[in-house]
């Protein structure tokens, strides 16, 4: 079928639906919802059999939904309506929620139902839930709805609140009044729920040192205590704030915008507050090994099980600043000292990595210099992985990765990927040539032609398609927990295999041959020469593209790479 995806942004769920439907042989078009006339023109030109909206915040005009079947993905169970479904689900501590595919009609979210799928509400931020459990349920519901539409004999179910399985309701916008934290009264559990319901957007509006900030993220602290509402510690850019019965970590802040003031965006909390306000608040570090046994906030955790080392990293939004790259490199070097032959890298859930930290760069006094420092730190990390010859290193991708984050994964010997992950192995949309030794690792894996195509087309690649072209080695279905159970089993098997010693000998040999053929330093120098031009050259698009990305500037039209 010819299916036109209409979306407010080509976000991860839209990319996932795109990859899944393309894989099933449908002809896909994408149109960003940037105006009714643009949409009308695109519908007339594409002549879709079906219009599908995986993530839409505006209404489809009546002349389109009367002439075509338009299916809307709504992140709520049957009967749920309104713009803040997931916020309410988390706020009210719902154990289970749903995704419903409905037909567009005049009234928002009130059309006949084509499919509805439940999912468990994990204890995590709203965006993380969206990219994982919601996305998985949405794909199941979309595939079922598309199949039903294609069959031609399915009658969608009218929304009927008298039905027993229609348990949702119309709810208002989840405004800041519902999110407000009362630090003198709210328990840690309540504070965390409010933070999770607002993460990553819009954050919880609050006050610190007499100024208004949006709080982003939120993690329990198991040991530190203090007077409710006070800041009691900092760690790796985050601040810890005491509650009535414990404390929570706040990794990122966004200053509230003042009328006429500059546009602001979120950044590590200690960067936003600055050293003067934080004078007297102690930095309380935790080692990756200690963090693995505690219920505290840490971007790094290290543990060993049955001969396998696991270095877990979890960076908000998958973005890795210069400092974060350096800390991960230090933890990686420590892990390399351990007597294990197999080392697994990757977060428990969500983004593996999205490359250099564009927000931190945007906020720097000299963005070009900070871009340079960040890419250099990233390259140092990748180089350390590439030159590890006494261990088998596995990248485990429970979630999505993009740009330098994909190339970071490729530095390992093997890349294992959850079936739901979406990879964007390209840099061009950010105006960058790219580094992270991608000119060495990508063609080695997929061949030069495919590497050229992937970086030229700049389209997302689903995990199964990535497996088929050799971009990843193993694709595992199921939830993030099931993925990790499978990763642990396979890694332990690898660690116990008699062939491991021989495999490490061969690894060392291959690296030496590759080095003799063309040293890693040459790849690095060539890539960085191009990146230097991107960062420091005149008329380079990178700085404007980064600014647009960080400030979430809406494009004027659907980007050309999505129109093909």
Binding site for ligand COA (CB under 6 A): 11-12, 127, 131, 200-201, 317-319, 354-359, 400, 402-404, 424, 427, 430, 432
Q: How far is the CB of 121 from ligand COA (least distance, A)?
A: 19
- Rounded (10°) CA dihedral 479, 484, 490, 493: -140
Pick from 183, 215, 219: which is nearest to 202 by CA? 215
> What does residue 103 show for φ and ψ, rounded to 5 degrees?
-85, 140
Q: How far is the CB of 322 from ligand COA (least distance, A)?
A: 12
Q: 308 or 402: whose CB is closer to ligand COA?
A: 402
Q: 237 or 309: whose CB is closer to ligand COA?
A: 237
Pick from 431, 404, 439, 407: which is nearest to 533 by CA? 431
Q: 12 or 298: whose CB is closer to ligand COA?
A: 12
Q: How far is the CB of 353 from ligand COA (least distance, A)?
A: 8
Q: How far is the CB of 342 from ligand COA (least distance, A)?
A: 27
Pick from 314, 391, 345, 296: which is nearest to 484 by CA? 345
Q: How far is the CB of 538 from ligand COA (least distance, A)?
A: 21
Rounded-to-integer distance, Cα 328 and Cα 237, Å: 14
Q: 7 or 101: whose CB is closer to ligand COA?
A: 7
Q: Would you say 196 and 248 are in contact if contact means Cβ atoms under 8 Å apart?
A: no
Q: 11 or 244: whose CB is closer to ligand COA?
A: 11
Cβ-proximal residues to 300 (8 Å cutoff; 6+ apart), any chain: 288, 291, 311, 312, 313, 327, 328, 331
Q: 127 or 439: whose CB is closer to ligand COA?
A: 127
Q: Residue of minimal CB distance from ligand COA?
A: 355
Q: How far is CA 556 from CA 35, 42, 458, 471, in A?
A: 10, 14, 19, 33
Q: 225 or 551: whose CB is closer to ligand COA?
A: 551
Cβ-proximal residues to 307 (8 Å cutoff; 6+ apart), any chain: 340, 341, 342, 492, 495, 496
Cβ-proximal residues to 141 (8 Å cutoff; 6+ apart), any chain: 73, 99, 100, 101, 115, 116, 117
CA angle 17, 18, 19 (to 5 degrees): 90
Tokens of residue 115, six digits: 């499919």
Place of tokens 């709810």: 171
Q: 200 or 334: whose CB is closer to ligand COA?
A: 200
Q: How far is the CB of 91 from ligand COA (least distance, A)?
A: 18
Q: 393 or 430: whose CB is closer to ligand COA?
A: 430
> What does residue 242 show for φ and ψ, rounded to 5 degrees?
-75, 145
Q: 332 or 427: whose CB is closer to ligand COA?
A: 427
Stated length of the chain: 564
Q: How far is the CB of 358 from ligand COA (least distance, A)?
A: 4
Q: How far is the CB of 516 from ligand COA (least distance, A)?
A: 29
Rounded-to-integer distance, Cα 320 and Cα 381, Å: 11
Cβ-proximal residues to 331 (8 Å cutoff; 6+ apart), any chain: 288, 300, 302, 311, 313
* Intra-chain end-to-end CA distance of the chain, in Å: 16
Q: How far is the CB of 423 from ligand COA (least distance, A)?
A: 10
Q: 29 or 318: whose CB is closer to ligand COA?
A: 318
Rounded-to-integer distance, Cα 344 and Cα 318, Å: 17
Q: How far is the CB of 397 from ligand COA (least distance, A)?
A: 13
Cβ-proximal residues to 460 (8 Å cutoff; 6+ apart), any chain: 15, 16, 18, 19, 422, 423, 424
Place of tokens 């990508």: 442
Q: How far is the CB of 417 from ligand COA (least distance, A)?
A: 15
């Amino acid at each position: 079928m010819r299916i036109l995806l209409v979306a407010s942004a080509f976000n991860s769920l839209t990319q996932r639906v795109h990859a899944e439907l393309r894989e099933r042989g449908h002809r896909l078009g994408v149109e960003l919802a940037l105006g009714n006339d643009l949409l009308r023109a695109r519908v007339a030109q594409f002549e879709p059999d079906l219009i599908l909206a995986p993530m839409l915040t505006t209404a489809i005009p009546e002349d389109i939904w009367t002439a075509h079947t338009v299916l809307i993905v709504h992140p709520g169970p049957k009967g749920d309506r309104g713009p803040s479904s997931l916020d309410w689900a988390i706020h009210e501590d719902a154990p289970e929620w749903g995704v419903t595919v409905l037909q567009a009609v005049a009234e928002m979210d009130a059309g006949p139902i084509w499919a509805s799928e439940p999912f468990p509400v994990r204890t995590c931020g709203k965006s993380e839930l969206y990219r994982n459990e919601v996305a998985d349920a949405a794909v199941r519901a979309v595939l079922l709805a598309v199949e039903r539409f294609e069959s031609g004999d399915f009658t969608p179910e009218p929304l009927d609140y008298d039905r027993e399985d229609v348990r949702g309701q119309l709810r208002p916008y989840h405004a800041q009044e519902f999110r407000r934290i009362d630090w003198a009264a709210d328990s840690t559990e309540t504070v965390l729920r409010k933070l999770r319901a607002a993460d990553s957007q819009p954050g919880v509006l609050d006050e610190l040192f007499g100024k208004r900030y949006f709080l982003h993220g939120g993690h329990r602290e198991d040991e530190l205590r203090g007077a409710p509402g006070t800041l009691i510690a900092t760690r790796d850019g985050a601040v810890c704030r005491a509650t009535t019965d414990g404390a929570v970590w706040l990794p990122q802040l966004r200053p509230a915008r003042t009328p006429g003031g500059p546009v602001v965006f979120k950044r590590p909390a200690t960067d936003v507050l600055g050293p003067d306000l934080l004078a007297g608040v102690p930095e309380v570090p935790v080692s990756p090994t200690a963090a693995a046994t505690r219920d505290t906030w840490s971007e790094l955790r290290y543990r060993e099980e049955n001969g396998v080392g696991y270095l877990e990293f979890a960076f908000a939004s998958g973005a890795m600043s210069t400092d974060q790259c350096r800390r991960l490199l230090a933890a990686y070097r420590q892990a390399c000292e351990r007597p294990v032959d197999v080392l697994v890298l990757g977060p428990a859930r969500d983004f593996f990595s999205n490359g250099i930290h564009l927000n931190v760069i945007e906020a720097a006094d000299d963005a070009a210099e900070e871009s340079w420092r960040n890419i250099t730190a990233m390259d140092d990390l990748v180089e350390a992985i590439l030159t590890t010859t006494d261990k088998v290193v596995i990248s485990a991708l429970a979630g999505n990765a993009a740009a330098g984050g994909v190339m970071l994964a490729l530095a390992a010997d093997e890349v294992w990927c959850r079936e739901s992950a979406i990879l964007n192995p390209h840099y061009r949309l950010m105006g960058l040539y790219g580094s992270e030794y991608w000119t060495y690792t990508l063609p080695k894996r997929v061949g030069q032609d495919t590497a050229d195509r992937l970086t030229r087309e700049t389209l997302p690649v689903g995990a199964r398609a990535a497996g088929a072209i050799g971009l990843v080695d193993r694709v595992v279905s199921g939830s993030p927990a099931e993925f990790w159970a499978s990763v642990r089993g396979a890694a332990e098997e690898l660690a116990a295999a008699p062939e491991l010693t021989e495999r490490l000998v061969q690894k060392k040999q291959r690296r030496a041959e590759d080095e003799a053929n063309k040293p890693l330093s040459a790849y690095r120098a060539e890539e960085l020469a191009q990146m230097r031009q991107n960062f420091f050259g005149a008329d380079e698009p990178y700085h404007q593209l980064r600014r647009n990305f960080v400030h979430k500037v809406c494009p004027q039209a659907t980007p050309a790479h999505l129109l093909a």
